[in-house]
Chain A
Amino acid sequence: MSTVLFFIAAIGVITGAVGVVVLRNPFYSVLALVAHLVSLAVLFLLLRAEFVAAVQVVVYAGAVMVLYVFVVAYVGGEAGESIGDRLHGVGSRSPAGPVGSGLRLGGAILGGAVLVELLIALLGTGLEAVNGYGAGYTPGPQAYGTPAYIGKLLLTRFLVAFEIASFLLVIAAVGGVVLARRRGGLEEDEDERGLLAPLAAPRPQGTGTMAEGVGQAARDAGVVNGHEAFAARRESVGPRA
């Protein structure tokens, strides 16, 4: 049963990864990555990492991918060329100068070399445990991989790493806001001064001010200026004791 599940999930993982690299439209690449992440969560479950699998689905395939979809929709995922065109240098928009098809072919060769090297390093290792099925596992409320187990580790042995990760998240959030904000104020057409322009039209001097409101009362009293009206009233009353 677990063998069948492993092969289904592994095929999903690899197909999703190929889809991310090959698909022409960035939007479809994001969707392929979501499929890849969900299949990878199945592999994590098979490795008895329950909490990490849940985090993978909820945080990674949920929240982070929504962010990607938003940015793809904002930038307008213009269809790039597929990897087959890239490797043959067909349909490239920029002149194939120093970054021509040769380097792209070199990229493909390097990718293959990385794969061979990793397989040699991982499978050709002297570790005999690699061919085993892992350490013993006994189910229980605090067994290996459960949220209780991970939480205990995070808050005891790995407390420093946990705190540093939270600092890193804060720094990244501030950095994201600083990078993506509008620079140099608002655009010309949505300038505040443009919206307020009718109010800035030339007007008779003295209107629209506080002195105007006071001046009306002063005119009733037969005086030109508010200050003089006030001074005249003070004189008529006389200095207070």
Chain B
Amino acid sequence: MSIAWYLAVSAIVFSLGALGVMTRRNPLVVLLCLELMLNGGNLALIAFSRMWGNGDGQILALIVMTVAACEVCIGLGMIVAIYRRHLPIDVDELRELQG
């Protein structure tokens, strides 16, 4: 398959993730949709890396995976902290950043 097909798949995955981030309210699912967006970016990076035949895009994809792991760590820590404080687990109701 030509590289363009992979790029189309990555665009679809990225916009599905963006749709989920904008419409879902459970912060857990919002984080999952963020992962989708990162994966769309990763697929495009690796497709372009294949296109040029050098490994820079693959290294960048690995770094993106590291950043995604960090984001998961912090995000899930925040969700657990929100749950401990008996706050609603709903991004629409968590509009204020106090306490």
With contact pairs A110-B22, A114-B15, A173-B73 given, residues A168 and B66 touching in the complex (Cβ less than 8 Å): yes
Please determine whether B53 and A135 come into contact, CB atoms closer than 8 angstroms. Answer: yes
Please determine whether B76 and A149 come into contact, CB atoms closer than 8 angstroms. Answer: no
B residues near A (Cβ < 8 Å) are: 1-20, 22-26, 28-29, 31-33, 35-36, 39, 42-44, 46-47, 49-56, 58-59, 61-63, 65-74, 76-81, 83-84, 89-90, 92-93
Please determine whether B13 and A13 come into contact, CB atoms closer than 8 angstroms. Answer: yes
Residue of B nearest to A48 (CB): B50
In the complex, A130→B8 CA distance in Å?
11
Please determine whether B5 and A6 come into contact, CB atoms closer than 8 angstroms. Answer: yes
Query: When the two chains form the complex, which single residue of B9, B23, B63 contacts A104, counting CB atoms closer than 8 Å?
Result: B23
* Interface 9-residue window, one of A75-83, A188-196, A211-219, A233-241: A75-83
Please determine whether B25 and A80 come into contact, CB atoms closer than 8 angstroms. Answer: yes
Please determine whether A68 and B78 come into contact, CB atoms closer than 8 angstroms. Answer: no
Query: When the two chains form the complex, which single residue of B2, B33, B93 contacts A133, counting CB atoms closer than 8 Å?
Result: B2
In the complex, A88→B44 CA distance in Å?
33
Query: When the two chains form the complex, which single residue of A29, A99, A176, A182 contacts B84, counting CB atoms closer than 8 Å?
Result: A182
Residue of A nearest to B82 (CB): A75
B47 to chain A, nearest CB (A): 6
* Interface 9-residue window, one of A50-58, A197-205, A220-228: A50-58
With contact pairs A33-B36, A43-B6 given, residues A176 and B23 touching in the complex (Cβ less than 8 Å): no
Chain A, interface size category, equals 35 or more
With contact pairs A21-B16, A173-B73 given, residues A115 and B4 touching in the complex (Cβ less than 8 Å): no
In the complex, A173→B42 CA distance in Å?
23
Please determine whether A80 and B93 come into contact, CB atoms closer than 8 angstroms. Answer: no
Residue of B nearest to A133 (CB): B2
A229 is an interface residue with CB less than 8 A from chain B: no
Residue of B nearest to A111 (CB): B19
B98 to chain A, nearest CB (A): 15
In the complex, A172→B78 CA distance in Å?
12
In the complex, A33→B31 CA distance in Å?
11
Query: When the two chains form the complex, which single residue of A59, A136, A179 contacts B53, counting CB atoms closer than 8 Å?
Result: A136
Please determine whether B46 and A52 come into contact, CB atoms closer than 8 angstroms. Answer: yes
B50 partner residues in chain A, CB cutoff 8 A: 47-49, 134-135
In the complex, A3→B76 CA distance in Å?
38
Please determine whether A68 and B32 come into contact, CB atoms closer than 8 angstroms. Answer: yes
Please determine whether B77 and A49 come into contact, CB atoms closer than 8 angstroms. Answer: no
In the complex, A152→B41 CA distance in Å?
24
Please determine whether A94 and B53 come into contact, CB atoms closer than 8 angstroms. Answer: no
Residue of B nearest to A70 (CB): B76
With contact pairs A40-B39, A158-B59 given, residues A118 and B11 touching in the complex (Cβ less than 8 Å): yes
Please determine whether B81 and A122 come into contact, CB atoms closer than 8 angstroms. Answer: no
A107 partner residues in chain B, CB cutoff 8 A: 19, 22-23
Please determine whether B18 and A135 come into contact, CB atoms closer than 8 angstroms. Answer: no
Please determine whether A180 and B93 come into contact, CB atoms closer than 8 angstroms. Answer: no
In the complex, A154→B56 CA distance in Å?
10
B56 to chain A, nearest CB (A): 8
B90 partner residues in chain A, CB cutoff 8 A: 93-94
Please determine whether A145 and B28 come into contact, CB atoms closer than 8 angstroms. Answer: no
